[in-house]
Amino acid sequence: MKFEKKDILGIKDLSIDEINLILETAESFLEISTRKIKKVPTLRGKAIINLFYEASTRTRTSFEIAGKRLSADTINISASTSSVVKGETLIDTARNLEAMNPDVIVLRHSAAGAPQLLASLVKQSIINAGDGAHEHPSQALLDMMTIKEHKGKISGLKVAIVGDIGHSRVARSNIYGLSSMGAHVVLAGPAMMLPRDIEQMGVKVFSRIEDAIADADVVMMLRIQLERQKQNIFPSLREYAQHYCLNRKNIKLAAKDVIVMHPGPINRGVEISPDIADDPSYSVILDQVNKGVAVRMALLYLLIGGNE
Amino acid sequence: MSKNKNTKIVMDKDGIDRCLTRIAYEILEKNKGMQNLVLVGIRTGGVYLAERLQKKISDIERDKIPLGILDVTLYRDDISVSNKKSRMGGTKINFSLDDKIVVLVDDVLFTGRTIRAAMDALIDFGRPKMIQLAVLIDRGHRELPIRADFIGKNLPSSLWEAVRVDLVEKNGVDEVVIEEGI
């Protein structure tokens, strides 16, 4: 099948066929990162701008490495060291970048919908690298790829997503993606961190972690986003950890061969205990990072590979 | 396969098998045995032919010759909108190519662009001592200075014709067909 999309704005816009094509393409890219010379010439002469208005280690580095492994030129702009501090608006910044003729703009922004806005304004392909609490499609794709590799399938699995659901674009993208791929998604978190109408996304919601992770094949823990807690929505990190930390004890409730995932960065001892995060018999956290490069290579290749 | 177009079968099952047997002996003769010799099939047709050559050479020499698989999609200079989104199969070369004699295997040698891409890809994997090329059909019309070392059949063709190699492994039948008017 052909991949017709101009932009990757969210998992919600992707069909099952498109998700499968991205995952299969990514699987064939995995091998490149194991070579001695980790580079293929496919995107030679193409330019990718990573425009990041929010802090990032994994996603930005992953997009940069993905671009470089395909021989594209990658340019990183972070808001704190750009003209954004002089007051330039997103639209003006984008128009100016457009004038320099890149092929893809990878955008991370704190405002939900910023990538959609950009995509409607500029002719280049836009990849959403996280917009507010809306979507983070490449993260959900790499999560699906990791699950598929460890479980052999996605359909029919029970996936528990636990933590700060309300602030989490990772959760939202994964709910769209995993549900459409046939997984059974359940959520858990304190009431204050659960959006009121989240059940409308077709998921089951629990207030106790124990109920959500019972017999789960996959447990996905979310980071408590301290930087987004404007008002104190829970009394203390310690109290949160007492109720929602994934640890040696409650993990026993999950399926025997459960895998534990986390989009990073980890707050050790808050949402996940260090001995679980570091235990290779449960944790696939670093494997997720590894898959991330392949998924982003696939996205770049499918969007801008080849000649028009 | 499709009989509705103007097609002509130019090689049948036995013909293909005899060509491959001869090529297997020629490879061994030219390289004086299979020491340091490896086969690399180019996806997709070349892979099946390379597997058959692997079996023939291994039978003759009573030792298994290594076989790798190369997907050259990412090295092509002519990926277009029409074919770039086809599913890739991935590359599998689980051995070092350093100082090896690599025999690239493909079904049809045409413009030479696939082979150019394949050589670029191989060199990213190491430094082979030598790269040789085995093809079932050489149909001419080269656009690059490339030639094959081992050829099953020279098949002069016009640019308006398509040469198709059907193999049991992918199409359920072994034959080489010329189709007119593409």
Nearest CA in chain B to A4: B85
Judge whether A3 lies within some domain.
no
Q: What is the pLDDT of residue A308?
A: 52
Chain B contact set for A305 (CB, 8 A): 79, 84
Q: A98-114 b/e with 16+ CB inside 10 Å = b?
A: beeebbbbbbbbeebeb
Alpha-carbon gap, residue B140 to B109, rounded angstroms:
7
The Cα-based distances of B166 to B2, B19, B46, B172 in angstroms read 11, 15, 11, 8
The reply to whether A170 and A263 lie within a common domain is: yes
Give me the domains of chain B, ranges plus CATH numbers. 16-74+92-158 (3.40.50.2020)
pLDDT (mean) for A33-41: 91
CATH number of the domain enclosing A43: 3.40.50.1370
- Cβ–Cβ under 8 Å, residues A183 and A153: no
- For B140-178, write each residue's pLDDT tens digit: 999 999 999 999 999 999 999 999 999 999 889 999 999
Listed in sequence order, the residues at least 6 apart from A120 whose beta carbon sits closer than 8 Å to its beta carbon are: none
Judge whether A198 lies within some domain.
yes
- For B50-106, write each residue's pLDDT tens digit: 999 999 999 999 999 999 999 998 898 776 554 555 567 789 999 999 999 999 999
User: In what helix (H) or strand (E) does residue B52 lie, and over which residues does it extend?
Assistant: helix B45-61
The reply to whether A239 and A102 lie within a common domain is: no
Judge whether A208 lies within some domain.
yes
What's the whole-number average pLDDT of chain B? 91
**CA-based nearest distance A208→chain B, Å:** 43
Sole residue written with tokens 């014709």: B161
Q: What is the pLDDT of residue A86?
A: 85
Alpha-carbon gap, residue B71 to A28, rounded angstroms:
9
Total tally of structural domains belonging to chain A:
2
The reply to whether A119 and A226 lie within a common domain is: no
The reply to whether A116 and A173 lie within a common domain is: no
Residue A301, pLDDT above cutoff 80: yes
| Subunit contact B124:A37, Cβ cutoff 8 A | yes
The reply to whether A128 and A141 lie within a common domain is: no
The reply to whether A211 and A255 lie within a common domain is: yes
**CA-based nearest distance A19→chain B, Å:** 13
| Subunit contact A302:B125, Cβ cutoff 8 A | no
The reply to whether A184 and A251 lie within a common domain is: yes
Give the pLDDT band (50/70/90) at residue A227. Answer: confident
Alpha-carbon gap, residue B24 to B61, rounded angstroms:
10
3-state helix, strand, coil in chain B (%, to 5): 30, 25, 40
Chain A contact set for B79 (CB, 8 A): 42, 305-307
| Subunit contact A3:B79, Cβ cutoff 8 A | no
Q: Tell me if residue B77 falls in helix, strand or coil.
A: coil
Listed in sequence order, the residues at least 6 apart from A255 whose beta carbon sits closer than 8 Å to its beta carbon are: A158, A215, A216, A217
Q: What is the pLDDT of residue A82?
A: 81
Q: What is the pLDDT of residue A172?
A: 96
Judge whether A300 lies within some domain.
yes
The answer to whether the complex's ipTM is over 0.95 is no
Residue A230, pLDDT above cutoff 80: no
Residue B2, pLDDT above cutoff 70: no
Which of A27, A40, A302 has its CB closest to that of B85? A302
Chain A contact set for B125 (CB, 8 A): 35-37
> How would you list the strands of the sheet with A158-162, edge to edge?
A204-206, A184-188, A158-162, A218-221, A259-261
Most B CBs within 10 Å, among A5, A145, A302, A307, to test the B interface: A307
Q: Which DSSP letter does residue B153 get?
A: E
- Cβ–Cβ under 8 Å, residues B39 and B105: yes
Judge whether A269 lies within some domain.
yes
In the structure encoding, which two tokens stand for residue A45, read together?
A: 């002469």
Give the pLDDT band (50/70/90) at residue A234. Answer: low
Backbone angles phi and psi of B42, in degrees to 5:
-95, 125
Q: What is the pLDDT of residue B82?
A: 47
- Centre a 10 Å sphere on the Cβ of residue A64 and count the other Cβ atoms it contains: 19
Q: What is the pLDDT of residue B41?
A: 97
Chain B contact set for A71 (CB, 8 A): none
Alpha-carbon gap, residue B99 to B125, rounded angstroms:
12
Give this prediction's pTM: 0.89
Chain A contact set for B84 (CB, 8 A): 301, 305-306
Dihedral sign, Cα of residue B33, residue B34, residue B35, residue B37: positive
Tell me which residues of chain B have a C-beta less than 8 Å from any C-beta of chain A.
Answer: 71, 74-75, 78-85, 87-92, 120-121, 124-126
The reply to whether A213 and A196 lie within a common domain is: yes
- For A168-204, write each residue's pLDDT tens digit: 999 999 999 999 999 999 999 998 889 988 999 999 9
**CA-based nearest distance A195→chain B, Å:** 38
Judge whether A100 lies within some domain.
yes
- Cβ–Cβ under 8 Å, residues A11 and A177: yes
Dihedral (Cα; A301, A304, A305, A308), 10-degree rounding: 160
Nearest CA in chain B to A69: B74
Which of B78, B88, B121 has its CB closest to that of A25? B88
Angle between helices A16-30 and A285-304 (to 10 degrees): 110
The reply to whether A281 and A294 lie within a common domain is: no
Q: What is the pLDDT of residue B44?
A: 84
Q: What is the pLDDT of residue A18?
A: 95
In the structure encoding, which two tokens stand for residue A183, read together?
A: 């997984």
To 5 degrees, how large is the angle CA A12–CA A14–CA A18?
155
The reply to whether A115 and A29 lie within a common domain is: yes
User: In what helix (H) or strand (E) does residue B178 lie, and over which residues does it extend?
Assistant: strand B175-179
The reply to whether A35 and A131 lie within a common domain is: yes
**What pairs with residue B166 in β-bridges?**
B175
What's the whole-number average pLDDT of chain A? 93
Give the pLDDT band (50/70/90) at residue A229. Answer: low
Which of B74, B89, B126 has its CB closest to that of A40? B74
| Mean pLDDT lowest among A2-6, A40-44, A268-272, B79-83 | B79-83
Domain that holds residue A79: 11-135+289-304
**What pairs with residue B52 in β-bridges?**
none
Judge whether A97 lies within some domain.
yes
The reply to whether A107 and A185 lie within a common domain is: no
Judge whether A68 lies within some domain.
yes
**CA-based nearest distance A6→chain B, Å:** 13
